[in-house]
Amino acid sequence: MRCDKIGVMKKYITTAIPYLNARPHIGHAMDYLLADVWARHETIGGHEVRMSAGADEHGTKVEQKAREAGVSPQQFVDDLAPTFRVMIAKLNVGVTDYVRTSDPEHARRCQEIWRRLDAAGVIYKSKYQGWYCSGCESFVTETEARAMDYQCPDHQKPLEKVSEENYYLRVSKFTDQIREFVRTAVVPEFRGREILELIKDGAQDVSISRPLEKLAWGVPVPDDDAQVMYVWVDALSNYITALSYPDDDFAADFWPAHVQVVGKDILRFHAIIWPAMLLALGLKLPRTLLAHGFINVDNTKMSKSLGNVVDPIELVEQYGVDAVRYFFLRHIPTFEDGDYTTEKFIAAYNGELANDLGNLVSRLANMIDKYDVPSAWRDSQSRIAAEVAEFHKFMKKFEYHRALETIWTAVQSCNRYIDETKPWALAKTDSAEMAQVLNVLWGDIMIIQALLTPFLPDAAAKIRAVFDGDTVQPAPILFPKVDI
């Protein structure tokens, strides 16, 4: 991270690349939203931000789905990839770089990365005998397998025993640095501790290729026709190929990543294998690895077979982007699993967005306009300084849901202040006092919109347009109430 101007830094934020074997769901959206809040937060701080996203398009599951659909794997992912881009756009997520792993440019860069890993002496060939989850398309170490009782918790099926000749990445060589990385970079801490437990006897080497006959749809291993790269080198590399690594135009000043957002299910790959790759390549390690939980629907895991998959695109079309951003950023705890139901969504929409925030904005704009209040808000004494301090404390810890909660404490405090001071009564008895009260609120709503900007960019901009001046503009209805 190099400083160009005083204090201006280049910050790179990444989102995990979803596996393209099904349509996007709200779990994918969580990744983008968490990354986008941080990107906007840093942009507001005056920094130069790049954010990457992408699609993980190789692997046997894609091959299989394509076969079922009667199309080529490339055709299959070409058909599916745009829906993810649509979701990113619909969620108002500011992605600057996008990598599809089936892009020949990405494949070429991966092969060069492989060569560099090989030159660094961390790739060797060996026979793999051990555990594999075909659902995760993931080899599982003996320690991990034992910890999950030989059954994949995410796929609810027994691990398979496989035996094949593969290339390996010498992850074990970096155990000490990986431990240090996990201690300093993984957020939240309790997830870091789970990873440290997994590698308490040392990190284990991992297979990074598969025989061509088992996996044809992937990046060929350079100089070996019989082997195809297996997820790690191909998928994890997207975070650096997005910056053109290892080409001459590699945007090295954006590396290391400031924040990498991942789901808890893929944290162990990002916390163990990824730093090993980076260390072998001589690259710095990411500053923060932020792991979030899963979203359940009605306290049940989302699944296609249960028919309870929530489509974020439909939600945005029905309720608007900021309502969707609000619910998932506030009511799904940033680090834990959370629960979505239509009832909870509508209760938050009507209660917190339409009532608390919407009413504050419209009441305040109406009174300032009606009583012709002379503008003095820039010099008014804020009543929400404590909430602002709390907000920043939570943002530093990436506890977005609590940061948003704090903004709502401030919003509710403003509403209470209106109810208690009754500016409409003061207008008749003490217009100086009335003007003072409304200017305090005027200043505070400007603070609130600033805090809201990374979370609800559209609503914040609308509030700013109403209040940012010496007079107010007519307030639009930010969140029209919906019927239950």
CA angle 262, 266, 267 (to 5 degrees): 70
Per CB under 5 A, which region of 126-134, 229-237, 252-260, 440-448 contacts Zn ion?
Answer: 126-134
Nearest in space to 54 (alpha carbons), one of 281, 241, 321, 209 = 241
**Which residue, 273 or 360, has its beta carbon nearer to Zn ion?**
273
Contacting residues for 9 by C-beta, under 8 A, at least 6 apart: 1, 2, 3, 47, 48
414 binds Zn ion (CB under 5 A): no
Tokens of residue 387, six digits: 């909430």
DSSP string, 8-49: -BEEEEEEPPPBTTS---HHHHHHHHHHHHHHHHHHHTT-EE
Active-site choice (161, 304, 392, 393): 304
User: Where does this chain touch Zn ion (CB under 5 A) — which range of 25-33, 129-137, 202-210, 475-483?
Assistant: 129-137
The nearest distance, CB 100 to Zn ion, in angstroms, is: 23
Q: Which span sits near Zn ion by CB under 5 A: 24-32, 51-59, 127-135, 250-258? A: 127-135
Q: Which residues contact 162 (CB under 8 A, 6 or more apart)?
A: 128, 129, 130, 131, 132, 139
Is residue 459 a contact point for Zn ion (CB under 5 A)? no
Whether residue 110 lies in the annotated active site: no
**Please, what is the minimum distance in Å from the beta carbon of residue 108 to Zn ion?**
30
Query: Which of the residues 301, 344, 397, 481 is marked catalytic?
Result: 301
Task: Give me the least distance between CB of 21 and Zn ion, in Å please.
Answer: 13
When the beta carbons of 146 and 370 are compared against Zn ion, the nearer one is 146
Least Cβ distance, residue 132 to Zn ion (angstroms): 9
Q: Count Cβ neighbours within 10 Å for each residue of 386-418 and write b for 16 or more, e otherwise.
A: ebbebbeebbeebbbbbbbbbbbebbbebbebb
CA distances from 192 to 184, 206, 208 (A): 9, 20, 24
**Cβ-based nearer residue to Zn ion, 306 or 477:** 306
Using CA of residue 79, residue 84, residue 85, residue 87, what is the dihedral sign? positive
Q: Does residue 136 belong to the site contacting Zn ion (CB under 5 A)?
A: yes
Given the residues 41, 90, 110, 136, the one annotated as active site = 136
| Binding segment (CB under 5 A) for Zn ion, from list 114-122, 144-152, 407-415, 471-479 | 144-152
Q: Indicate the Cα dihedral angle 299, 301, 302, 308, nearest 10°.
A: -50
Instruction: Give the number of other Cβ atoms within 10 Å of residue 108's Cβ.
Output: 13
Q: Out of 133, 273, 329, 367, name the contact with Zn ion by CB under 5 A.
A: 133
Please indicate whether residue 3 is annotated as part of the active site.
no
Nearer to Zn ion, 266 or 316 (CB): 266
The DSSP letter of residue 473 is P
CB of 157 to Zn ion, least distance (A): 7
Please indicate whether residue 392 is annotated as part of the active site.
no
CB of 41 to Zn ion, least distance (A): 34
Minimum separation from the CB atom of position 265 to Zn ion (A): 9
Q: Which of 337, 398, 372, 352 is nearest to 38 (CA)?
A: 398
User: Is there a catalytic annotation at residue 157?
Assistant: no
Distance between CA 388 and CA 43 in Å, rounded? Answer: 19
Closer CB to Zn ion, 152 or 279, in the complex? 152
- Binding to Zn ion (CB under 5 A) within 77-96 occurs at none
Please identify which of the residues 10, 28, 65, 90 carries the catalytic annotation.
Answer: 28
Q: Establish whether 152 is a catalytic residue.
A: yes
25 is catalytic: yes
Tell the smallest beta-carbon distance from residue 296 to Zn ion (Å): 18
> Which of 214, 392 has the CB closer to Zn ion?
214
Which residue of the set 41, 65, 110, 133 is catalytic? 133
- Residue type at 277? M
Q: Which is nearer to Zn ion, 158 or 469 (CB)?
A: 158
Strand pairing category for 259-263 and 10-15: parallel
Q: If you search the block for the tokens 């077979």, which residue do you land on?
A: 305
459 closest CA partner among 439, 471, 473, 476: 476
**Euclidean distance between CA atoms 404 and 322, whole angstroms:** 13
155 is catalytic: yes
331 catalytic residue (yes or no): no
Number of residues that bind Zn ion (CB under 5 A): 6
Q: Which of 135, 351, 469, 480 touches Zn ion by CB under 5 A?
A: 135
Which residues contact residue 387 at a Cβ distance below 8 angstroms, ignoring those fewer than 6 apart? 406, 407, 409, 410, 413
- Span interacting with Zn ion, options 91-99, 136-144, 302-310, 344-352, rule CB under 5 A: 136-144
Select the span of 10-18, 81-89, 146-154, 356-364 touching Zn ion (CB under 5 A): 146-154
Give 418-436 as a DSSP string. Answer: HHHH-HHHHHHH-HHHHHH
Per the residue annotation, which of 11, 25, 58, 292 is the catalytic one?
25
The 150-179 site mask, x for binding Zn ion (CB under 5 A), equals: --x-xx------------------------
Residue 179 in tokens: 């431990």
Site for Zn ion in 5-44 (CB under 5 A): none
Stretch that binds Zn ion, among 62-70, 131-139, 405-413, 437-445 (CB under 5 A): 131-139
**What is the C-alpha separation between 226 and 214, in angstroms, rounded?**
10
Enzyme catalytic residues = 25, 28, 133, 136, 152, 155, 301, 304
Q: By the criterion CB under 5 A, which residues form the site for Zn ion? A: 133, 135-136, 152, 154-155
